[in-house]
Structure 1
Amino acid sequence: MNANLVGIAIIDIVFFTLLVLTAVAIIRQRSLFAVAMLSGVFSLLSAGLFVTLDAMDVAFTEAAVGAGISTVLMLGTLALTDKDETKPKRSALLPLLVCFIAGAALVYGTLDMPPFGAADNPVQTHVAPEYLERTPTDIGIPNVVAAVLASYRGFDTLGEVVVVFAALVAVLLMLGTTGRPANKRNKE
């Protein structure tokens, strides 16, 4: 095996290990502030993993939305709520069972997928060769991913940005104030 591939595999294993440790830490926390901070760390680790997979566009989105906007919104929400999680009154068995069934269904859905990175995968043989061939002459920039997102799929990318912006506005409206100062609102 190539030494470069071994190095990348080691980096991927380190990222996955850190992601699992962060997820376990999030589950065990009762302080909502710590959960918000660890969620930001989880998003940054995910962005780093996406970089090792050469998915820079997804990494930028994860870093901006996951670690940036989501963390700010969670901290804003914490300003309006309690700082600690309350103990659940019911058993966690049913939600755990639902998560297990959903996870099993997702794993089952991936069993018939083609091998990751294989040259004969549909994603490698359908549209990708045409994009790789036409991008230098059609767009004139060396980054094919940026060319696809900004030009070939420009309206789709615009739609995604509008959806993210609309979600941000909706969350800000839900967290919005009634026009009264915060200290008067909390006393009522």
Structure 2
Amino acid sequence: MQKIVYTKALAEYREKPSKVFRKSGKIENDFYKDESLKLQYELVKLQKWVIDNDKRLLVIFEGMDTAGKSSTIKEFNAYLNPREARSVALPKPNSKELGQWYFQRHLKQIPNAGEIVFFDRSWYNRAGIEQVFGFCTQAQHDHFYKQVNGVEEMLVDDGILFFKFYLNISKETQEDRIKD
């Protein structure tokens, strides 16, 4: 693969922001494509490092509906080897899962050595969506908050590289995306 040099390009964009942003505030397509390709290259290098060093990488994406979680994960996965990178978007729990410890169905999906796993939503549904829509009781919600930090500490203590991202958009942007 070719070596990518960032400094000249980034300096040029700082001097000419019109190469980065349109008047509407949206990112220029050419800039996006160039930067996306550079980031893809870095992700492939990261994956190679994860595989070569038997690391486990877990990345959680949270955010409002239409915030871009799925499309971001798709972009992240575009050039990765699918044998060692996968995305997880769990459906609503079935009746058997409803009788399990809340984190159990999620933890079945954590990465193995040399693997990257992207979660499209995660156990944080309990903190937001489930409570807002009445899918859990207040006691279940409170119990989640008592346990979540400990669960995540166990993952990290066991050597999992763990990252969480929250994608945020305005209500107006969300409404526009829902209309489309």
TM bucket (normalised to shorter chain) is under 0.3
The structure with the greater share of residues assigned to strand is 2
Name the TM-score, length of structure 1 as normaliser: 0.26
Query: Which gives a bigger RCO, structure 1 or 2 (Cα 8 Å, sep 6+)?
Result: 2
The structure with the greater share of residues assigned to helix is 1
Name the TM-score, length of structure 2 as normaliser: 0.27
Bigger Cα Rg = 1
